[in-house]
């Protein structure tokens, strides 16, 4: 299915997987509706997307944790941007890596508010229009962490397990409509993920990727675009992708 001229809404589009996904859809000639908290970074992605072939770009400074702001952003879209064809629920993060009984509650709240509630707020605002129009595709960013909990990551893993349940529940709820629902679940990807998790500690973040070759954001973006470009009658329920140095959330091979 051609993505040329399709309106693609990507949250968390200012960096990492979100930015790579925006550029991948741009190369397909899509119309990009990009949202993130960092307006400056978002403007850089928008400029690169236009250079790569995006038909047009419309950017929104948005924090998906704010339910009213999310609904307002969708309600106030210019008419030419209102009929969203593909939603990529990418906004998400991990904070801290502590034992559950010593974890910082503010870290928990940020993860739950972004990864779970933000996902719900955006889906609730966008999916009704897809159902009414009789077309649309929701791509949710999950994780191998949603399949297997690892030590010191219980709350993050719980948010990604919730994403998996929400994804599957939404696919059940739109059954009987042409709307498609996909979860893309990567393993280790080298982005700012670990830097954010460790609150800016670059040394600690670098150790996460030591001795192995992780996925790149572009690898995940490629999977998202592939799922979105299948024929209209094909729904890719879930894609799990890891680097060859990773078997699951607990087992890695690291070169000396």
121 catalytic per annotation: no
Give the number of other CB atoms < 10 A from CB of residue 151. 10
Look-up of token digits 């990551």: 153
The rounded distance, in Å, linking the Cα atoms of 32 and 81 is 9
For the record, the structure tokens of 70 come out as: 């999310």
Cβ atoms of 251 and 188 closer than 8 Å: no
Q: From the candidates 121, 150, 156, 209, give the one annotated as an active-site residue.
A: 156
First to last CA, the chain: 44
Return the closest-CA partner of residue 7 out of 32, 44, 38, 27.
Answer: 32
Are 37 and 91 in contact, with CB atoms under 8 Å apart? Answer: no
Rounded CA-CA distance 228/137 in Å is 7
The neighbour count for residue 245, using CB atoms within 10 Å, is: 18
DSSP 102: G
Rg (CA), the chain: 17
DSSP state of 217: H
Q: Where are the strands (E) in the chain, listed by range?
A: 7-11, 31-36, 56-61, 86-89, 137-141, 180-186, 238-241
What are the catalytic residues?
Answer: 156
């Amino acid at each position: 299915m051609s993505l040329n001229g399709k309106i693609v809404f990507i949250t968390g589009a200012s960096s990492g997987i979100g930015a790579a996904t925006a550029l991948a859809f741009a190369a397909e000639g899509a119309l990009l509706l990009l949202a993130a908290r960092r307006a400056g970074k978002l403007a850089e992605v928008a400029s690169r997307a236009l250079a790569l072939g995006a038909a047009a770009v419309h950017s929104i400074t948005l924090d998906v944790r704010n339910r009213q702001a999310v609904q307002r952003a969708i309600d106030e879209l210019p008419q030419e941007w209102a009929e969203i064809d593909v939603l990529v629920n990418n906004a998400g993060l991990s904070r801290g890596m502590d034992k559950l009984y010593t974890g910082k509650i503010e870290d928990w709240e940020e993860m739950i508010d972004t990864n779970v509630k933000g996902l719900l707020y955006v889906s609730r605002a966008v999916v009704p229009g897809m159902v009414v129009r009789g077309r649309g595709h929701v791509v949710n960013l999950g994780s191998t962490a949603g399949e297997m909990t690892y030590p010191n990551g219980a709350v993050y893993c719980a948010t990604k397990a919730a994403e998996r349940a929400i994804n599957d529940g939404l696919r059940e709820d739109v059954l009987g409509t042409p709307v498609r629902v996909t979860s893309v679940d990567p393993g280790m990807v080298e982005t700012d993920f670990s830097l954010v998790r460790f609150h800016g500690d670059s040394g600690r973040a670098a150790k996460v990727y030591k001795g192995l070759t992780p996925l790149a954001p572009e690898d995940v973006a490629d999977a998202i675009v592939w799922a979105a470009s299948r024929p209209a009658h094909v729904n890719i329920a879930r894609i799990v992708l890891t680097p060859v140095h990773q078997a699951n959330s607990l087992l890695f091979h690291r070169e000396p």
